[in-house]
Structure 1
Amino acid sequence: MFSSRRAFLQTTGCGFGYLAWQAMAQSQAALANPLAIKKPHHQPKAKRVIFLFMQGGVSHVDSYDYKPRLFKDDGKIIEVADSRSIAKTGKGALQRVMKPLWNFKQHGESGRWASNLFPHINQHVDDLCFLHGMHTEGVAHGPATLFMHTGTTSNIRPSMGSWVMYGLGAENENLPGFMTISPSLGNGGPRNYGNAFLPAVFQGTPVGRSGMPAKESTIKNITNAIWTPEQQRKQFGLLSALNAEQAAHAMPGDTDIDAVIRSYELAWRMQNNAPGAMDISGESEATLKLYGINEKPTDNFGRQCLMARRMAEQGVRYIQVNYGDNSNNPAWDQHSNLPKHGDHAAAVDKPIAGLLYDLKQRGLLEDTIVWWGGEFGRTPYAEKNGTGRDHNPLGFTVWVAGGGFKPGFAHGVTDDIGHMAVDDKVHMHDLHATILHQLGLDHEKLTFRHAGRDFRLTDVHGHVVKEVIA
C-alpha cells in the first residue's frame, strides 16, 4: 500500500510520474503571487525605506564627526598603518593631518555637532539618529558599494531591497515594490538592485540612470500612443495565453518565466499608475521650492527626492535615491580638491532637508526609514600630502531618521582624529540587521535556500543595534 499519491508516483514507472506531477505542482505554485503582502516576523515600526545613497564616500570628519584635535594638529605628520595604507604600500605610512574645511557648531535642542557643509539638513538634527562608529568591508568603491547593497564584496548576492521585497511583499500591486532612482552603471551597477538567486520578481526597477537629467528619468515605454486601449487589451490577452502555455512546460525551480509573466501583468497595471506616481507637475509651487526644484544647483536631486516621496505615498516598499555618476571616481570621491565637497553638498542639502520636512508634515516619517550615507568615509589625513582625503572604511558616520529610530541621538565613537571606530561600533551587517528589524524582519530568519545552504543578507554576521531604537 502507498501512503500517498506522492509515494505512488515516486515508486512507479521509474519515477517519471512523480516528475510530471512535480512539474504540474510547480506551475500551480507559480500562479500564487510571490509579491503578496507577507506577515512580518514581529511587529514592525516602519513600512518602507528611502535610502539616500551618497556615492563615493562623504567625509565624516568634515560633516558630522567633530574632532577638535584635527584643528589643533593640522599639518602634523603622523604614522598611519590602516588597511588603505597597507594595501597601497605594504606597510604603514607617514601622513599629514588635515583639519576640516568647514566649521562645526552644535545644532537643535539635542545639541548635535555638525559642520556648515549641510546647513539645511542641520535644521533637522533633532529628527536624525547619527551612527558615528560605522565600519565596513572593502577599501575600494566597487567592493564597498557592493557590500553596502548586498552584504558581500564580490559574490553575486541579492540586494537589500530585494531581500525586503522577499520578506514583506509589495504594498501596491500596481507599482514595483523596489525602485532605484538614477542608479550608477559602475561600482556594482545592476547588482546593487539585483535579485541574484532570489526569484526574479524581487529585482529592483531602475528609474533613469546616473548622468541622465531627472526630468528625463522615467520608466521607458510605459504608455502606448499608437494602439487603442481595446487593441492593447487584445494584445495583452494573447501574451497572457502564450505565457501561460510556456509556464505549463517550465522546468521545476525556473522562476524566470513566472517573472516575465508578472512583469507583463505589472506593466499592464502600471500604465495607469506609474506615470502619475512620478509626475511632479501637479505639486504646488511651495512644494517645488521646498525641494529646490527649478533652482540651481538643486533642481536635479530635488526632483529625485520628490519622486521618492511620491513613491512612498503610493506604497513602494524600498526606494533608493542615488547621488553620483558613472565614473571610476564617483561624486564625493575627493582624493584631491576636497572643496569640491561643497559643490555636491549644495546640490543635495536643500532637497534632503525638504524631503525630511515633507515626510514629517504628511505623517509619513514615523513609519518611513530615511537612511543617508555613502559606502565608507574619508581619512583624517591628506592623501599624498595633498588637498584631499583617501577612502576610510574603518570609521565613518551615517544617519537614519524616522521608522522608530531615536531622534536627536548619537551612537558610537571614532578615535580622537576620526580615523577608526572604537566604541559602540556598528558594522554594515549590523546596520542591515537593524533596518530589517525596524521593518519587522528578523535578519537571522530571513533566509533563502540556494546551492545547498541557507543564505541571508547578513550572511552569518550582524546584530540589531538596540541602543538606537526608540
Structure 2
Amino acid sequence: MNLDWNDLEKQMGRRHFLTKTSLGLGAMALGSLVGSCKQSPGTKAPHSDELEAAQDEFLATLPHYFPRAKRVVYLFMSGGPSQMDLFDYKPELTGMHGQDLPDSVRRGQRLTGMSAGQSSIPVAASVFDFAQHGQSGAWISELLPYTSEIADELCFIKSMHTEAINHDPAITFFQTGNQIAGRPSIGSWVSYGLGSLNENLPNFIVLVSKNASGQPLYARLWGNGFLPTRHQGVQFRSGKDPVLYLNNPEGYDGRDRREMLDYLKKLNEFQRDAYHDPEIDNRIAQYEMAYRMQTSVPEVTDLSGEPDWVYDLYGPDSRDPGTYAANCLLARRLLEKDVRFIQLYHQGWDQHSFLNNSLRNQCKKTDQPTAALIKDLKLRGLLDDTLVIWGGEFGRTVYSQGKLTGESYGRDHHPRCFTMWMAGAGVKRGFSFGQTDNFGYNIVKDPVHVHDFQATLMHLLGIDHERLIYKYQGRRFRLTDVHGNVVKDILA
C-alpha cells in the first residue's frame, strides 16, 4: 500500500502534535543514553539542534557530583522481616513477656484489622538468642550465623519508618516513592538518570525467587511508569528462556532476525517521522537491545562454569536456578558485566503466625547466599563500587498477634520502626545508625524515612534527588516527590 506521509502529517491535529512533542522532549534528548553513559557531552545526535542542546545540557550535569557507587544490588525481603528477632536486640523485654503493651508506648497508634480485635496485645520477647559480632560488636540473631560473619561490612539503619501499614502500598512506596501505583521504580529512575554501562544487557534487571509464597509481587514494582519504556526493569527467569520471547522462533536464524529488525526499524522510523512520537525511538532501541541480548543473556545466565568453591560459598540451593541463592550468584555475574541496577525479590517474610519455625526457615534460605554475595564481591574487588541493600517494606510488632502460646503466635505489621542494612560503596562499615525505645516500638534517635533512604541511595550514585526530575502531564516529578534528606551520618 502506498502511503502519502505528507497527507498523514496534515491529518495530525494540533493538540496531538503539541502533546506528543512537549511531553517527549526529555525522552528524545535521552535517546543516546541507552548504552552510552560513556558518551561525551559534545557527541552529536541525529536530532534537531534544540534536542541536541537539551541532550548536551543533560549529560553535562549528570552525575551531579562524584558517585560513591557505580552499581546497586537491592535485596528486597518482601513481607516485612521481624527486626525484633533479627537485628534490634531488646533484652529488657524478657521480664515483660506476656504483659500488655503499655498505652504510653503505643500512643494510640492504629492497628491493622488482623490484631485490632484482640482483647489484649501481649509483649512477645524474642525466643532467639543474640550475640555481638565483629569489631563493631553488632547484635545479630542466632538465625543469621553467616550474616554474623560479615558484621563489620554492614551499615545498619535501625530507625527506618514509613506511613504505609499494609503490604501493597508499603512495597509500592519503597520501590516508587509513592503508595499509589503508577510511578517509575527506583531502578528506572537510575537508568533514566545515569544510562547504561553495558550495551548488551539491560540497565535494570529483576530476579524473583521461584517457588516462594507470600504477598504477591507485580511487574509494576519494577515498571517505568511515565518514563520512557527503555528504562523499565527486565525480569530474568529460571529455565532455558531467562527472558520471554527473546529466542528466535523455530526455523529462524540470526540472519532472518537481523533482516526482519532492519525492515521493522524502517517502518518505525516512518511512523516516528509522521507522528513525532519519541516513544517510537524507545521501541526501536528495545528491539535492538533484544537482538544483542540473544548472545549476552545465555552467556551470563549459564552458571555451569562456576567452580565448586563458589557453589559451596553460596550454599547448595545455588545449583538450582531460580532460587534465592542462585539469584544471588547470578547477581554477582551481572554486576561483573556492569549492569547498573539489580533487584532481587524474595517473598515469605510475613510471619503473622507460627513465627518461630517460619522465620527460621526463611533465614536458612537467605542467610548464607546473602553473606556469600558480600564476601564474593569483596573478594573480586567489586564491593568498593557496588552498593548492596537488604530490607523489606516495614517491620513487625513487639506484641503478639493472637494468643502468646507455644509456637503459634506471630507478629503484625509495624511501620513505626524497623531495620535495614547497606554494605559496600560509600557507606560506613561496621556501623549502626538510629535507635528505638526499649520496646522496639518507637524511634528515639535519628529517624530515617523511606524518602530519606531513597535520597541517600541517589546521593551515593552521584545524583541530587531534587534535581533528577521528569515533566509529565504538566508537573515535574521525582522519586522522592517533595520530601527526602540525605542521611549524611552513614556516609563513609
1:1-400 aligned at under 5 Å gives the runs 29=28, 32-35=31-34, 36-37=36-37, 38=59, 39-79=62-102, 80-81=106-107, 83-85=109-111, 94-182=120-208, 187=216, 189-208=218-237, 214-215=238-239, 218-224=242-248, 226-251=251-276, 254-294=277-317, 300-324=323-347, 331-339=348-356, 340-386=358-404, 387-400=409-422
For 2:321 and 2:441, locate their aligned partners in 1 and report how far apart those are by CA, in whole Å. Answer: 31
Residue in 2 aligned with 1:458? 480
* 3-state SS, counterpart of residue 73 of structure 2: strand
Deviations 1:347-378 (A, max 9, x none): 01111111111000000011111000000010
CA 1:86–1:375 in 2, change beyond 3 Å: closer, same or farther? closer
For 2:323 and 2:78, locate their aligned partners in 1 and report how far apart those are by CA, in whole Å. Answer: 16
CA 1:216–1:72 in 2, change beyond 3 Å: closer, same or farther? farther
For 1:45 and 1:219, locate their aligned partners in 2 and report how far apart those are by CA, in whole Å. Answer: 31
For 1:395 and 1:416, locate their aligned partners in 2 and report how far apart those are by CA, in whole Å. Answer: 12
For 1:167 and 1:103, locate their aligned partners in 2 and report how far apart those are by CA, in whole Å. Answer: 44
RMSD of Structure 2 on Structure 1 (CA): 2.8
CA 1:15–1:90 in 2, change beyond 3 Å: closer, same or farther? closer
CA 1:345–1:216 in 2, change beyond 3 Å: closer, same or farther? farther
For 1:385 and 1:280, locate their aligned partners in 2 and report how far apart those are by CA, in whole Å. Answer: 46
For 1:299 and 1:265, locate their aligned partners in 2 and report how far apart those are by CA, in whole Å. Answer: 27
For 2:455 and 2:207, locate their aligned partners in 1 and report how far apart those are by CA, in whole Å. Answer: 24
The offset of 1:256, in angstroms, is 3.2
- Give the number of aligned pairs: 442
For 2:414 and 2:343, locate their aligned partners in 1 and report how far apart those are by CA, in whole Å. Answer: 23
The offset of 1:241, in angstroms, is 1.5
* 3-state SS, counterpart of residue 369 of structure 1: strand
On the 8 A contact 2:88/2:158 being kept in 1, the answer is: yes
CA 1:93–1:136 in 2, change beyond 3 Å: closer, same or farther? farther
Per mean C-alpha deviation after superposition, the further-off stretch among 219-228 and 78-87 is 78-87
* 3-state SS, counterpart of residue 431 of structure 1: helix
Residue in 2 aligned with 1:7? none
Give the AA of the match of 1:40.
P
For 2:240 and 2:350, locate their aligned partners in 1 and report how far apart those are by CA, in whole Å. Answer: 26
CA 1:43–1:308 in 2, change beyond 3 Å: closer, same or farther? same
Structure 1 residue runs without a partner (length 5+): 1-13, 209-213, 325-330
For 2:137 and 2:189, locate their aligned partners in 1 and report how far apart those are by CA, in whole Å. Answer: 36
The offset of 1:300, in angstroms, is 1.7
For 2:318 and 2:31, locate their aligned partners in 1 and report how far apart those are by CA, in whole Å. Answer: 47
* 3-state SS, counterpart of residue 272 of structure 1: helix
* 3-state SS, counterpart of residue 323 of structure 2: helix
CA 1:68–1:317 in 2, change beyond 3 Å: closer, same or farther? same
For 1:27 and 1:406, locate their aligned partners in 2 and report how far apart those are by CA, in whole Å. Answer: 36
On the 8 A contact 2:455/2:465 being kept in 1, the answer is: yes
Identity rate, percent: 42
The offset of 1:263, in angstroms, is 0.9
The offset of 1:298, in angstroms, is 11
Give the AA of the match of 1:363.
G
Give the AA of the match of 2:352.
H
Give the AA of the match of 1:191.
R
For 2:350 and 2:31, locate their aligned partners in 1 and report how far apart those are by CA, in whole Å. Answer: 45
* 3-state SS, counterpart of residue 157 of structure 1: coil
Per mean C-alpha deviation after superposition, the further-off stretch among 285-294 and 116-125 is 285-294
On the 8 A contact 1:98/1:382 being kept in 2, the answer is: yes
CA 1:276–1:442 in 2, change beyond 3 Å: closer, same or farther? same
* 3-state SS, counterpart of residue 273 of structure 1: helix
On the 8 A contact 1:215/1:300 being kept in 2, the answer is: no
Give the AA of the match of 1:207.
F
Deviations 1:111-145 (A, max 9, x none): 11111111111100100000000101210000100
Give the AA of the match of 1:320.
Q
Give the AA of the match of 1:391.
H
* 3-state SS, counterpart of residue 220 of structure 2: helix
Residue in 2 aligned with 1:447? 469
On the 8 A contact 1:137/1:143 being kept in 2, the answer is: no
CA 1:335–1:247 in 2, change beyond 3 Å: closer, same or farther? same
For 1:90 and 1:75, locate their aligned partners in 2 and report how far apart those are by CA, in whole Å. Answer: 17
Structure 2 residue runs without a partner (length 5+): 1-12, 38-58
* 3-state SS, counterpart of residue 380 of structure 1: strand
Give the AA of the match of 1:193.
W
The offset of 1:420, in angstroms, is 1.8
CA 1:26–1:346 in 2, change beyond 3 Å: closer, same or farther? closer
* 3-state SS, counterpart of residue 249 of structure 1: helix
